[in-house]
Structure 1
Amino acid sequence: MDDRTGRLLIALERRAPLKSVGWLHIREGRLLSVRTRGNDTFYLPGGKYEPGETAVQALSRELSEELGLLVPAEQLSEAFVIHDVAHGKGGRRLHMTCFTGGPQDIAPVPGREIAEYAWFDRRQARERCAPAHSQVVDRLIAEGRMAG
């Protein structure tokens, strides 16, 4: 209630964007993607920050937990940031920092919540991946890092 006018005030809750990290790993023109258990949509390898982590620390930890890959934070370089609506999060905004680097000749081993991994081209990404993932693919194609 506004003390001056006596009118009821309505406050709109605005949730902070969901902050995440993603790994850009391309092989033979296809982008590495992962699917979590119980979900049919694919995402970039990566995930959310733990309290006190930097973006590269979060990605290094997530790659170890999700795919059994030891990628030191020093080997990762920021590529770009994607802003979109987080898939399956009720309209919450997503702020995803994407990185390149790390080992090129890898053999991922799905762990924890990851059910499987796959390598997708542009068409497959549009059909099977979250909207932010498609935005990443479009950006990689525009930058000449991935074939259109």
Structure 2
Amino acid sequence: MNRCLLPLRLLRRLSSGFDAVYSIKESILIRLDQPIQQKEALKKFLACRDVVFAGVHVKEDIKILEDLGLQLKNATDLSELAASVLGKPQVGSYGARKLASHLGVLQLEPIRSPTCLSFAEWGSVQSAIGIECATIDAYAAYKIGKKLLEI
């Protein structure tokens, strides 16, 4: 079989050796417990053409992943896509929550905690807040992408 693993099978396979694997509808959020270079299954997963790595303002994240040796075959910056599809360049500057609200797919409060803005300290006591913020933003990105595909 030359196709990528189905998300459910992949989640089971990836979950060993990872600190946490979260599934949100058709989205997967992975928190690593080791350096990313040691994750062969993750490398194969992200290199699959059938997997879309999508998010709001993800160009920097994509560059970091590529610098770490991960090849992303199918990456999409939803902020740029929204600006193009809607013909409104200003929405390209919106964050995930504001863009989701603008599109009417979710009504979310703005980020109030500085922990949401940086995930460098995910091992700290505040990691639950960081995970919650990342999960909300991942779900917002899922809803944004789904809405943009309908337009």
For this structure pair, what is the TM-score category when the shorter chain's length is used for normalisation?
under 0.3
TM-score by length of 1: 0.28
Could you say which structure has the larger radius of gyration?
Answer: 1
Q: Comparing both structures, which one devotes a greater share of its residues to helix?
A: 2
Whose relative contact order is higher, 1 or 2, with alpha carbons under 8 Å and at least 6 apart?
1
Structure with higher strand content: 1
